[in-house]
Structure 1
Amino acid sequence: MNRLCYHSLTVEKCSTWHMALLFVGHLGFKKTLAKVSRQFYWPGLRKDVKEFCRRCHTCQVVGKQGSKPPVSPLLPLPVVREPFAEIMIDCVGPLPKTKKGNEYLLTILDTATRYPEAIPLRNIKTKVIVEHLLKFFAWVGLPRSIQSDRGSNFTAKLFHQVLSELNVVVKHSSPYHPQSQGAIERFHGTLKTMIRAFVESQPKDSDKAIPFLLFAVRDASTESLGFSPFELVFGHEVRGPLQLLPEKIIRPAPPGDVLDNVSIMRGRLQLACEVASKNLAGAKACMKARYDRKAVCRVFDPGDLVLVLGAGRSGTSTTLLVPQRGGLRPDCVTLMP
């Protein structure tokens, strides 16, 4: 087959690339190379086409189907040692409506102990969420900070106003990055599985099972901490159905003096929290090591050309929506710790 050969970089060669891209349809390096090499040749053709496709603005903005940019190195959240000093909140639903009309759950998770709470709700309006948060605070005390996603009920003025009056800092997870709420999302997965098993026999009474399902979660040892949430909050294993049979066989020890019990419990809590913090720090280090195997560290300077992830417009289909915008130049760069 006869091919036109260029000896050097020429205007004709550049126009050939653009013509090839027009007919290939931005299908990537291999198809573009095949199209061009059928009719043309020049020294370094493969290298030039690969570089041209790599720099193609349209290909960068549209992206390859199903492809994602490499992740950045993981930044583990700091280990919290004080119970209920920092909590995460979220909402689950809509779920199948119960007899009481509940179809949502307000979920709360203590960052330090992984102690969970789930409150059945008819709706998840800001006013309702605030009311139930205040009831929760009446039991555990006021936290120093609350982390949530960017749902409209958590970004509302009323939500921020009430918590500001209580001197509680509100933190929102990064847009398009729900992994920063990973702990509570994993709790959601566990809770949904348990509800699903219960709903199979009593679909209209699922909200009645929530307290008992929460007991099971609170009484289960957490792999990353090495203790159950009950142990880290109360300083001892709680008495549950599994303890009833041994009590019938083995006579329980007589209760000691109240002050002695308080002193022993305080020591247990302190030791358990210290061990749990060490275990969690170790688990975070292992997670970071695994995560960073495929991570790429990027460094940006003010004025660099960058692509920005675009948000979908409400009420419009995202099928043909270009996922990114570019090239934009940042005025400043914020370094993460």
Structure 2
Amino acid sequence: MMNRRGLIGASLVGSALIGAKASAAETVTRLDGPCVISTWDFGVAANQAAWAVLSKGGRALDAVEAGARVPEQDLKNHSVGRAGYPDRDGHVSLDACIMDELGNCGAVAALEHIAHPISVARKVMEKTPHVMLVGAGALQFALEQGFQYEELLTPDSKAAWEAWKKDAKYQPKANSEVGDYGKTTGQLGTPGGKGNHDTIGMLAIDAKGNIAGACTTSGMAWKMRGRVGDSPIIGAGLYVDNDVGGATSTGVGEEVIRNVGSFLVVELMRQGRSPEAACREAVERILKKKPQAKDIQVGFLAINKRGEVGAWAIQSGFSYALCDGRKQDTLLPGKATYPVSA
């Protein structure tokens, strides 16, 4: 697989995925046929797992579940799944949601001891009359469904937590993994940046033209016990309307929740906005209501029914991965309202 810098270079120079400009300020990226998009550089590997389903005529829902499981099981990824950094009390808790083309959805929040929350979320959707299960109830349900009980606090994550406790400062930094305490801190979009973040959001269109989405995270490192961000909340971290398109988000979830961000993006696309324009307006609404949000990161990624893709973030450094029948390993930098903070 190409490295991250190579992927960005390939995407910007002569990529077949870049379409004609809709205006001087907007570039339309359009994918053909079955396709999948996802947030951040770890979305490249996730997309390839999803493509293994889509390329065989599989359902978009199966594709996004398969793709989301990749970062969930990656022991080098400290922001999603089994290797996620813990809350300030040392507990690893995971959040996820999934949504299909029919509007069915399922979610889990504050789920401990289960490595694949995205698959539990799907079980909630398919096996219960509910949309979301949380905490101990979510764990009970997962165990009843045959998921394995595991200790998720890995040695690396525990070491980072022990280092954090020396100062116990909670100050999320835009585009950095855990501030000053992780071994792989760095800003995505800058040379050497590792780009481990807080969420993977994924959207897919299958051969039948149906759309599904998934979102999964371990949340912010060192959060208060019980904190839940936008990732498992339908309409905030993820929203799909099969007649219009889908959207997902990443970054500081509190700001996304306050604006019901992903639902907003889809509704703006319904009104005729391009995916990029819709994502940009969602970001600018956050900033209008709360100007100090310019110092944190929120990014949106969207795809419409025609396969047009767009993204926008508060700060530069956000990236997203694209995959269709022509290319499975493209990474693009997202546009932003502000440059990365010093």
TM-score category of the 2 structures, normalised to the smaller one: under 0.3
- Report which of the two structures shows the higher radius of gyration computed on alpha carbons: 1
* Greater fraction of residues in strand: 2
* Greater fraction of residues in helix: 1
Q: TM-score, normalised by structure 1?
A: 0.25
Of structures 1 and 2, the one scoring higher in RCO (CA 8 A, sep 6+) is 2
